[in-house]
Amino acid sequence: MATIHGRFVPILLVFVWCFANNIVRSQRKTDGEDKKHGDFECPHSTGNGNYADPATCKRFYQCVDGFPYVNRCPSGLYFDDISKFCTFKNEARCGPIASTPAPVTEEPTDLATKCNHEKCTLPYCFCSKDGTLIPGGLDPEDTPQMIMLTFDGAVNLNNYDHYRKVLNNKHQNPNGCDIRGTFFVSHEYSNYHMIQELASEGHEVATETISLQTGLENKGYEEWVGEMVGMRDILKHLSNISKSDVVGMRAPFLKPGRNTQYKVLEEFGYIYDSSIGAPALPVPVWPYTLDYKIPHECKSGTCPTKSFPGVWEVPMNTHYVEDFEGGHCPYLDQCVLHNHDADEVFQWLQEDFLRYYDQNRAPYMMPFHTNWFSIKELEQGLHKFLSWTQTLSDVWFVTVTQALTWMTDPKPLSQIRNYEPWDCKKRDNLPPKPCKIPNKCALAFKRPEINITDTRYLETCNDCPRQYPWLDDASGSGIPGKDNYVPDNVRK
């Protein structure tokens, strides 16, 4: 009997293994996985990281110590094998894509040189060899940990209530002021009554572009002027936000326009850009001026090569945790956290944040698209994180401009509670509060490249334009080519 049992156990184990394996194979077929995950081999030359699934753009492999873990992009997103994160279908470059040097698109003349500490001094210049040094030579324990909440794209009914839950007048800084965020606004589908409401409460409004067109990084000076300065003009016409209050910029899809975009920033009075992505570095990078060469790898391949003295770059540090669970990403909604519960999302954000807090206290930027707030667990995890930060007396939520103001004249923690630029009592420079009942405008709109007239809607406290504002006609006058912007440095 013992002999029969001894023979039966291996047969039973083989049967169970085969049965389980058939279930797994069947499930993989159900999910459209035609090839086994075991067939994928992590590249030995490049080590850990994210790699495209050869079978579908909706999946990718996360290699950790040579072993591949399969991951799926959030619903509606696809894996971009160049930028190595999940993004929208029209932006995703499906892989596997062979790694080749980026083509040279500009003459390498007047190249920026490496940081020179002796010549680069605050308040007009800041740099360090690798971008990790704290301004003013402060110790980490004496440095306020700044958090910058940033939101990209149109502001409208799809996201406004979600943003209000974050900026809810309940989360406050140690000085008693409500936390504030920065909005990089694009034009199409934006509600300008809502934007004015946010600006009037002290949130910063910066520009993305009017059209969010792809390929803008390869366009010329006039195109960048129209997109950037035109967007700033639309904010003035429809949200009553002064040009002098709109001083920041973010390029669409984090694809800076090489030297051309930064020439526009310099000539039209912008203070900073926040388009350049930094790789997954062990120590995060502080903002820096573009007097000198950028101190890290250019992820997009379209960063400026020349010197632009006094123009600040607020880099997009990559978000990740130690074992790369969830991947790595510049925008938080591009990391694969949709299969986590709220507590796991909170723990992921906490670990990512502590890399800053426990080291050099570089500003922790939290960039979002609307996508993040469409998944309940992600939104709940964010709120848990915000509540946890309220227990830390040295953490401050600031706008990008407030962070840069501190950097030009760094103050230790002992002086921050009475630091005037972060105070909320003065309202001198804020736009007026919006009207209670805005004008609801239904406007004719025809894209130049499509010979079809459509209708677009917007809300504003001002009179409705004659037609939908667009490139070369920021006021919506209906007169083609009406806009003619003159750089600040040539005005009389």
User: Is residue 203 a contact partner of residue 167, using CB atoms and an 8 Å limit?
Assistant: yes
Tell me the β-bridge partners of 277.
316
Identify which of 253, 260, 267, 262 has the alpha carbon closest to the alpha carbon of residue 316: 253
- Residue 34 within a domain: no
pLDDT for residue 23 = 39
Both 316 and 403 in a single domain? yes
Which range (64-73, 93-102, 453-462) has the least confidence? 93-102
* For the chain, percent of residues with pLDDT exceeding 90: 67
Q: Note whether 77 and 197 are same-domain residues.
A: no
Give the per-residue pLDDT at 13: 39
Q: How far is CA 321 from CA 52, 253, 301, in A?
A: 20, 23, 25
Residue 18 counted as domain residue: no
pLDDT at 406: 98
Residues 221 and 353 in one domain: yes
Q: Are 317 and 355 in contact (CB under 8 A)?
A: no
Residue 25 in any domain: the answer is: no
Report the domain count for the chain: 3
Give the tens place of pLDDT for each residue, 31-88: 444 334 457 887 764 446 678 888 888 888 877 656 777 888 877 788 888 777 788 7
User: What angle do helix axes 221-239 and 258-267 make, rounded to 10 degrees?
Assistant: 40
482 versus 45: the higher-pLDDT residue is: 482
Residues 196 and 309 in one domain: yes
pLDDT category of residue 99 using cuts at 50, 70 and 90 = low
CATH of the domain at 344: 3.20.20.370
pLDDT value at residue 88: 79
381 and 295 co-located in one domain: yes
367, 386, 421: which is the final residue of a domain?
A: 421
Which pLDDT value is given to residue 447? 77
Whether residue 150 lies inside any domain: the answer is yes
- Looking at residue 111, the DSSP 8-state letter turns out to be B
- pTM as predicted: 0.82
Percentage with pLDDT > 70 across the chain: 86
Residue 146 lies in a domain: yes
Domain that holds residue 470: 439-490
Assess whether 283 and 351 both reside in one domain.
yes
Residue 1 maps to a domain: no
Same-domain pairing of 443 and 416: no
Q: In what order do the strands lie in the sheet with 59-64?
A: 49-52, 59-64, 67-72
Handedness of CA 186, 232, 105, 285 (dihedral sign): negative
Residue 123 carries which side chain, given as an amino acid letter? P
pLDDT mean across residues, the chain:
87
Question: Would you state the pLDDT for residue 491?
Answer: 56
276-297, pLDDT tens digit by residue?
A: 999 999 999 999 999 999 999 9
Grouping H, G, I as helix, E, B as strand and the rest as coil, residue 167 is coil
Q: Please give the structure tokens belonging to residue 457.
A: 């809607």
- Alpha-carbon distance of 257 to 260, in angstroms, equals 6
Q: Give the mean model confidence (pLDDT) for residues 374-387.
A: 96
Q: Is 377 exposed, middle or buried (0-12, 13-18, 19+ CB in 10 A)?
A: middle
Q: Per the domain annotation, does 447 fall within a domain?
A: yes
At 186, the pLDDT band (50, 70, 90 cuts) reads very high
81 and 227 both lie in a single domain: no
Q: Are residues 171 and 279 in the same domain?
A: yes
Q: Please say which residue of 421, 455, 472 terminates a domain.
A: 421
The answer to whether residues 449 and 379 belong to one domain is no
Asked, for residue 183, whether it belongs to a domain, the answer is yes
Domain match, 219 and 292 both:
yes
Same domain, 337 and 408: yes
Who has greater pLDDT, 41 or 202? Answer: 202
